[in-house]
Amino acid sequence: MAFDQLQGVVARLESNIASGPIVPTVGPQEIRDYLGSRYDFSKPVALDEVTDDVERMMRTWQVQVTHPRYFGLFNPSVTLASVIADTLVAMYNPQLAAWRTSPAANEIERHTLAWLTAKFGLPAATSASFTTGGAEANLSAVIVALTRAFPEYGEAGLRSLAASPTIYLTHEAHYSFNKIAHMTGIGRRALRTVATDRDLRMDLGDLARRVAEDRRDGLAPVMVVGTAGTTAAGAIDPLPDLARFCRSEELWFHVDAAWGGAAILSPRLRAHLAGIDAADSVTCDAHKWFSVPMGAGMFFCRHPDAVGEAFRAQTSYMPGKTAGPVVDPYTTSVQWSRRFIGLKLFCALAHHGESGYVEMIEHQARMGDLLRESVQRAGWRVVNRTPLPLVCFTRDGLVATEFLAALYERQIAWMSEVRLGDQAPVLRACVTSFRTQESDIEWVVREMSRLAEPELKVTA
């Protein structure tokens, strides 16, 4: 069958990537010249020739995020089942705006999201949808929160509000909220940056002070954003405390668990997400720690009526409402036309089972622990604290930018540079691949130490 051939192609690709370079050496002009000289679209080119050429470009001119020594941003290795699922979606091309046009696809997504809803401890009636990614899910949360807090917002806009809305988050929260503040019209100045403790977790005392101060000034606090696994350092805000505070202050509690949300499956890690079950809304990305291809975000909200009001739509060219307990996705999400995003997560969960996912997630957590311990033994200083597989580290005299350039040149690994608070830039390494093994960690730490102190003979 064709999918047997696809499995063979994927296996060969994985092997080639794992044994090849991680970081390309190319500039934009080289790629532009190449494309300009071969593709002016004036005449057809054989499909085999095009696909072979594109595959070569992807193999040569791209950071290989599925490489076991890619320790970068949350771009994972992907499961075979999810690759096959994406291929099936492209072949059938279902349109999920309305239930009636794609009943099977819509019910597969509903079934998958209901399973995760239960894992998060949210009510069965929770509204859940797949999104293009975490930014769309976070945007959805803000729109729904504003709609619920200000019933006139949807029809009359911000000018109709008696007071200006404010949202509370830390400097470690995802920067998408700055875009969202602009897009929703509340403005970037509506964001309140709450102080953090030494572990970069939201400071509840400063939050309470800022909310009280804004209310005294005639503003309208609306939402608190707690992050479960910050991008820079993997910090998890004190979710139970934030949940209690938001209940007492009648504020919307949103948890951005775009990366860390998958930890809810792990017996070892799920306690660190305690409090997420009290959230009004949750963001989680399947294309991060659930190891499926881009893009596959998810938005969960315990207030389905508010979701329906925020995204309500009715027009004659769409099918009428289907009878029964069915909701058309275009009336409950930002998107209208929508790809069958959820199949890749459904197939991966079905193929690996919950136990398989627990093993993948906990394996990466163990590799993160090993990396943390190994860099410390080798004389590096770890500067973040998290149970998640993300390690920020440095050493005296290190210039992060220069060190990373040398790291890439020698194809040792891909890591990123990050600045935590007002400190000097440090190295950030996140285990994002279920293919990363102990031998990868040990080799990378040994080579990094040789690079940092070439005069030392570092043994494994």
Domain that holds residue 324: 87-346
pLDDT band for position 319 (50/70/90)?
A: confident
Q: What pLDDT, on the 0 to 100 scale, is given for residue 454?
A: 64
Supply the pLDDT for residue 324.
67
> Over 50: is that where the pLDDT of 429 sits?
yes
Residue 314's pLDDT band (boundaries 50, 70, 90)? confident
Q: What is the pLDDT of residue 1?
A: 58
Computed over every residue of the chain, the mean pLDDT equals 93
Among the listed ranges 1-15, 144-158, 283-297, 331-345, which one has the minimum average pLDDT value? Answer: 1-15
Average pLDDT over residues 175-182: 96
Residue 414 has pLDDT above 90, yes or no: yes
- Min mean pLDDT across 5-14, 264-273, 391-400 is at 5-14
pLDDT tens readout for residues 327-356? 888 889 999 899 999 999 999 999 999 999
* Within a domain: 150: yes
Rounded distance, CA 123 to CA 142, Å?
A: 20
Q: How far apart are CA 67 and CA 102, in angstroms?
A: 36
- pLDDT of 457: 47
Beta bridge partners of 282: 255, 300
Q: What is the pLDDT of residues 102-128, one digit of tens each?
A: 999 999 999 999 999 999 999 999 999
Find, among 159, 127, 176, the residue nearest to 311 by Cα: 127
What single DSSP character describes residue 383? -
What pLDDT digit, counting tens, does each position of 129-147 carry?
999 999 999 999 999 999 9
The CATH code of the domain that includes 328 is: 3.40.640.10
CB-based contacts of 246, cutoff 8 Å, min separation 6: 224, 252, 253, 280
Look at residue 448 and tell me if it is in a domain: no
Dihedral in degrees, nearest 10, Cα atoms 265, 269, 272, 273: -10
For residue 12, the model assigns a pLDDT of: 82
Residue 459 banded pLDDT, cuts 50, 70, 90? very low
Each residue of 204-251: pLDDT tens digit? 999 999 999 999 999 999 999 999 999 999 999 999 999 999 999 999
pLDDT tens profile 42-53: 999 999 999 999
Are residues 330 and 318 in contact, defined by beta-carbon separation less than 8 angstroms? yes
pLDDT above 90 as % of the chain:
87
Average pLDDT over residues 186-204: 97
Residue 42 lies in a domain: no
Residue 93 in domain: yes
Q: Residue 102 domain-assigned?
A: yes
Phi, psi for 10 (deg, rounded to 5): -65, -40
Cα 2 to the center of its chain, rounded Å: 31
Residue 39 scores a pLDDT above 50:
yes
Buried b (16+ CB within 10 A) or exposed e, 88-98: ebeeeebebbb
CB 347 within 8 A of CB 85: yes
Alpha helical stretches, state H, 20-133: 28-38, 47-60, 80-92, 103-119
Alpha-helix residue ranges (DSSP H) falling in 250-342: 304-310
- 103 belongs to a structural domain: yes
Tokens coding 151: 């019933």
Find the range with the poorest average confidence among 16-20, 160-164, 336-340, 377-381: 16-20
| Residue 279 buriedness (CB in 10 A; 0-12 / 13-18 / 19+) | buried
pLDDT tens string 13-24:
888 888 888 999
Average pLDDT over residues 297-301: 98
The pLDDT of residue 19: 83
Residue 168 inside a domain? The answer is yes
- Whether the per-residue pLDDT at 170 is higher than 90: the answer is yes
* 260, part of any domain: yes
Q: Where does the pLDDT of residue 378 fall: very low under 50, low under 70, confident under 90, or very high at 90 and above?
A: very high
Quick one: which of 363, 407, 430 has its CA closest to 76? 430
Total structural domains within the chain = 1
Whole-number Å distance between alpha carbons of 351 and 127: 26
Give me the residue label for tokens 């938005």.
299
Distance CA 80, CA 85 (A): 9
Cβ contact 345:351 at 8 Å: no
Query: 458 pLDDT exceeds 70?
Result: no
The pTM (predicted TM-score) of the whole model is 0.94
